[in-house]
Chains A and B, each alone.
Chain A
Amino acid sequence: MKKQMSKLVVSALSACMAIGLCACGSTTSNTDTSDTKTETTDTAKDTSSEETATVAEDTGKTLNIEVWNEEFKSRITDHYPGYEKTDDTHGKIGDVTVNWIITPSDDNAYQNNLDSVLPGNADASEDKKVDIFLVEADYAQKYVSKDADVAMTMKDLGITDSDLSKQYSYTQDIVKDADGNMRASSWQACSAGLIYNRDAAKEVLGSDDPETVQQAVKDWDTYEETAKKMKAAGYKMSSTVNDTYRVYSNNVSKPWVDGTKVQIDDNMKAWVDNSKKEVDAGETGTAELWGDDWAKGFYPQGKVFCYFGPAWFFNFSMKADDSTSIAANGGWGFCVGPQSFYWGGTWICAAKGTDNPNLVKDIILKMTTDDSIMKEIAEKDSDCVNNKNVLKELAGSDDGNLAILGGQNPYQQLADGAEKVDMSNTSIYDQGCNEEFQSAMKNYFDGNASYDDALAQFNKAIVEKYPELTTE
């Protein structure tokens, strides 16, 4: 009897634990599928087959899409005609099964996954072939290069320049190969701005009008002064130092890597200096982006004055689906901020070796060039779409007023910003450099190291990540 009792207790306890584990496990289950995939398709690379101008027949029954989060999936689910969701990582278009392979992008995991899958894609078995993969601005050049040759050109897919004529030129320049052929297409134009807390603006600056707020943050000196006022009123100027990072890093005068040499731009040093001052004054924190500490400011009690981001940021990241958040109550405003900048953006690439080229072509056309679908995306998801006509139309009508921003219409500003974006100082090493620089400098901000020591750690980490690079 005693024995049975204790057995019962033991199994009850282990059951409790197992349930706890399942709860944790469910969020990561998506990545498992991609892991097995990586292992199975790691074969030699030989993709240079003869190309024909006409697009081949669709023979695949599975459409594999490599992504790093849920964003594109929800866009397809909501806006692609004929897509039916079957479960969290699968769907159907006609009789083709859509398989979403999600690998988080942290620490270049997503890129490493692509690196092992794409070179052997043409030889992979039918159901394993990647048909579509997505890339971000930080490393787009790596995958659209002519040498890598892992993405099909728009021309080969049968997409013409006139199809793409309404897109912003920066979104095309960054994904052109050495011959000037586009190898990816985006539905987003990611010019960004300063997103401010309207209540804080009213309380401290006297008004939540974008013009007034813009005057208070028009350059970094004025930004600092406002930060002091915010601090006095109990607000943090920004949630963490990494919020302003992109504003500085987009306005650099040279890329992270010159040849094989890593260089620190003056503007990056300026970010470090200004951020250190703000941290020491208690005007901002040092938490990492996307974490709980960082996200506190999305709620009124978090007491954060501003975040920096493009349209996908206030739609996708600011917890608008939680009724207690500031976003759900329309409590944010939008203005240009100290310097104009862009952040991210997602490009759709057709993987070389795809067995569904016509379907891929149709997805790219519908999602990145179709006026009515793109307008729908802008209205439903407050995304800033990569379509001059649609943005112009939205800027001039009440359709462009966003609830998250308390009815403000940000599209004129976003459209102006998109024309100004300059991506000439990007390199294929940007994701690694940005992540490691932020991570190393956190030590300096937290007072655990001097600037020089933190810089030395950055140099060390970069060489570990990219052995071909050298540092000063």
Chain B
Amino acid sequence: MKKKGKTSIVTRYNKWGYIFLIPFFVVFVIFQLIPLVNTIYNSFFENYMSGLNKIGPNFVGISNYVKLFEGGDLWKYFGNTMIMWILGFIPQIVLSLILAFWFSSPSLKIKGQRFFKTVIYLPNLIMASAFAMLFFALFADAGPINSMLIKGGLMSASAPFKWLSNVWSTRGLVAFMNFVMWFGNTTILLMAGMMGIPADLYEAAEVDGCKPSQVFWKITMPLLKPIFIYVLITSLIGGLQMFDVPQILTNGSGDPMRSSMTLIMYLNKHLFSKNYGMAGALSVLLLIITGILSFAVFKFTANDEAK
């Protein structure tokens, strides 16, 4: 009897934990779990609009998946997505690490930190589509960038460089935009991680005569790892879901020759005709790819801790 009374106090107390979790689970189930299951279910059906007529839903087994893999386009779009993500992520992480290191370094004591932190975060507040429209106008064949280059004598007026008709300049612009939009966010995350590192470690290192590069690689980086992995994985998932910038910049075409078409842009092409079957199959594949990559990154980088 005594025992029972004891546990009931604990469970009575514990139940508040569950009650407070209810809102999250309700939202999660309605907006995440049900759509997820629904998507998987839909991916086995032929179901689209032909003009004003609805075709399906007819059960077609895995033929949507087979169609996706036919011709190998899927891997091409996956490759495009990864290339553009890496092109943007490398400068982003390098710059963010440097900035975070400077901002959080106790020996540097940079003035006007709040101002700079805000300024580097501001690009992230612009709508991606507005930002892409801006670049679309700036880098048009007869746009301001080209006229500046022509006036500066760096380009001949008769043959202006067509930024958006060239594979690598298009990809480069997409990567650059993503870099500008996201480096502030990354900097702030990394800085939070760096400020969590005890200052006495740095002081001890200084006393022992460490060079700044040694401090960075031997102290900052290892202790920053959890945050670093978090940044890497969220950026990877964000990169796989890249859509708005290349969509607007290339007017939805992903040209030249679909070399800047990302997986989500491809998904959007199917949603055009409300083709829920193909779009569902592609979404499921995307889920699997994202899962595998995130797991791999986590495993690879968290290896040391497991030991």
Knowing A6-B114, A293-B140, A464-B270 are in contact, say whether A24-B130 is a contact too (CB < 8 A).
yes
A466→B142 contact, CB < 8 A: no
Task: Report if A425 contacts B (CB, 8 A).
Answer: no
Closest to A23 in B: B130
B52→A150 contact, CB < 8 A: yes
How long is the Cα–Cα vector from A411 to B239 in the complex, in angstroms?
A: 56
B142→A465 contact, CB < 8 A: no
Pick the interface stretch among B81-89, B252-260, B289-297.
Answer: B252-260
Task: Report if B162 contacts A (CB, 8 A).
Answer: yes
How many of A's residues come within 8 Å of B, CB to CB? 47
B118→A6 contact, CB < 8 A: yes
Which residues of the other chain, B, contact A324 by a CB distance below 8 angstroms?
none
Task: Report if B133 contacts A (CB, 8 A).
Answer: yes
Knowing A9-B115, A13-B118 are in contact, say whether A467-B275 is a contact too (CB < 8 A).
yes
Task: Report if B137 contacts A (CB, 8 A).
Answer: yes
Pick the interface stretch among A127-135, A245-253, A387-395, A445-453.
Answer: A445-453
Which residues of the other chain, B, contact A142 by a CB distance below 8 angstroms?
51-52
Which residues of the other chain, A, contact B127 by a CB distance below 8 angstroms?
21
Task: Report if A108 contacts B (CB, 8 A).
Answer: yes
How long is the Cα–Cα vector from A381 to B112 in the complex, in angstroms?
A: 59
A428→B51 contact, CB < 8 A: yes
How long is the Cα–Cα vector from A123 to B195 in the complex, in angstroms?
A: 61
How long is the Cα–Cα vector from A9 to B113 in the complex, in angstroms?
A: 13
> How many contacts between A and B, using CB within 8 angstroms?
100
Q: Of B114, B126, B273, which is within 8 A of A464 by CB?
A: B273
Task: Report if B141 contacts A (CB, 8 A).
Answer: yes
A288→B251 contact, CB < 8 A: yes
Knowing A428-B51, A468-B50 are in contact, say whether A107-B252 is a contact too (CB < 8 A).
yes
Closest to A469 in B: B50
How long is the Cα–Cα vector from A182 to B143 in the complex, in angstroms?
A: 46
Knowing A148-B51, A293-B142 are in contact, say whether A14-B137 is a contact too (CB < 8 A).
no
Task: Report if A296 contacts B (CB, 8 A).
Answer: yes
How long is the Cα–Cα vector from A292 to B143 in the complex, in angstroms?
A: 8
Selected A-B contacts with CB under 8 Å, 27 pairs = A3-B114, A6-B114, A6-B115, A9-B115, A9-B118, A10-B118, A13-B118, A13-B122, A14-B122, A107-B252, A115-B51, A119-B52, A142-B52, A148-B52, A292-B143, A428-B51, A442-B165, A443-B256, A443-B257, A448-B256, A448-B257, A449-B256, A453-B257, A457-B257, A464-B272, A465-B273, A467-B48
Could you list which residues of chain A lie within 8 angstroms of chain B, going by C-beta atoms?
Answer: 3, 6, 9-10, 13-14, 17, 21, 24, 45, 107-108, 112, 115, 118-119, 142-143, 147-148, 150, 282, 285-288, 291-293, 296, 428, 439, 442-443, 446, 448-449, 453-454, 457, 460-461, 464-468
